[in-house]
């Protein structure tokens, strides 16, 4: 009777252990859904997340940067721990968990370095197209309308109106038409003499 009871308890413990392992696997798969496993090798470049607990001198204020880098991976301890080549200013252990490391791409994408020649950075292209369309002062480039674009447009419009007024005043006309041509006037501006008001 004692042996049967002992055997039953061992089977119960084994079933409970299998059930717990199965549930742990389910929880782990749900928790890691959508995540990708990142593994670094020696000589890879990484960004380091600066936690307040580990970097108290660098994170005194919430506006300070939360990361630093790039740093080179010196040694892979295991899939979760890496030894990083930190400079001497930090005075902390150079071993980091994978949660504090982010990959740094040192490829040939010019968006990483806006000062690189022959880049395809979007703002650099906008500047080139804006400089090539210098003949049209009222040209609005693609993208959001910012305060600086509105200011440039307003200044260009004022200069354009003043130039048209100066041309019309030199010809002696009192009726000024703004538009693509005289026959297609968009805006009619009537010049009023100072004494007639």
| pLDDT given at position 86 | 85
Q: How far is CA 42 from the centre of its chain?
A: 27
Q: Tell me: do 49 and 95 sit in the same domain.
A: yes
| pLDDT given at position 132 | 52
**Dist CA 80 CA 73 (whole Å):** 13
The answer on pLDDT for 5 being more than 70 is yes
Largest alpha-carbon pair distance within the chain? 125
Lowest average pLDDT, out of 63-67, 96-100, 123-127, goes to 123-127
* Domain CATH number, residue 87: 2.30.30
Calculate the dihedral angle through the C-alpha atoms of 12, 14, 17, 21, rounding to the nearest 10 degrees: -130
Lowest average pLDDT, out of 49-58, 68-77, 87-96, 165-174, goes to 165-174
User: Does residue 122 sit within a domain?
Assistant: no
Question: Full-prediction pTM beyond 0.75?
Answer: no
**Bigger pLDDT: 176 or 57?**
57
Q: Tell me: do 49 and 97 sit in the same domain.
A: yes
Of 86, 103, 120, the last residue of a domain is 103
Domain that holds residue 179: 137-196
- Name the β-bridge partners of 56: none
Q: In what helix (H) or strand (E) does residue 73 lie, and over which residues does it extend?
A: strand 67-78
Q: In what helix (H) or strand (E) does residue 131 lie, and over which residues does it extend?
A: helix 122-132
User: Does residue 9 sit within a domain?
Assistant: no
Number of domains in the chain: 2
User: Does residue 129 sit within a domain?
Assistant: no
Residues 147 and 162: beta-carbon distance below 8 Å: no
User: Does residue 113 sit within a domain?
Assistant: no
**Dist CA 167 CA 128 (whole Å):** 32
């Amino acid at each position: 009777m004692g042996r049967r009871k002992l055997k039953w308890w061992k089977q119960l413990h084994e079933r409970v252990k299998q059930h717990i392992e199965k549930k742990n696997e389910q929880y782990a798969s749900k928790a890691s859904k959508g995540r990708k496993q990142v593994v670094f090798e020696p000589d890879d470049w990484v960004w380091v997340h600066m936690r307040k607990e580990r970097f108290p001198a660098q994170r005194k204020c919430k506006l300070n940067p939360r990361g630093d880098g790039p740093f080179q991976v010196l040694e892979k301890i295991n899939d979760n721990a890496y030894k990083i080549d930190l400079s001497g200013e930090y005075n902390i252990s150079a071993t980091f968990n994978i949660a504090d490391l982010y990959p740094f791409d040192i490829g040939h994408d010019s968006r990483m370095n806006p000062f690189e020649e022959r880049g395809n950075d979007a703002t650099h292209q906008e500047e080139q197209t804006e400089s090539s369309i210098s003949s049209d002062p009222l040209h609005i480039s693609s993208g959001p309308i910012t305060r600086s674009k509105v200011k440039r447009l307003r200044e260009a419009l004022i200069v354009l109106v003043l130039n048209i007024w100066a041309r019309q005043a030199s010809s002696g006309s009192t009726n000024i038409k703004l538009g693509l041509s005289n026959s297609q006037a968009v805006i009619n501006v009537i010049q009023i003499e100072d004494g007639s008001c």
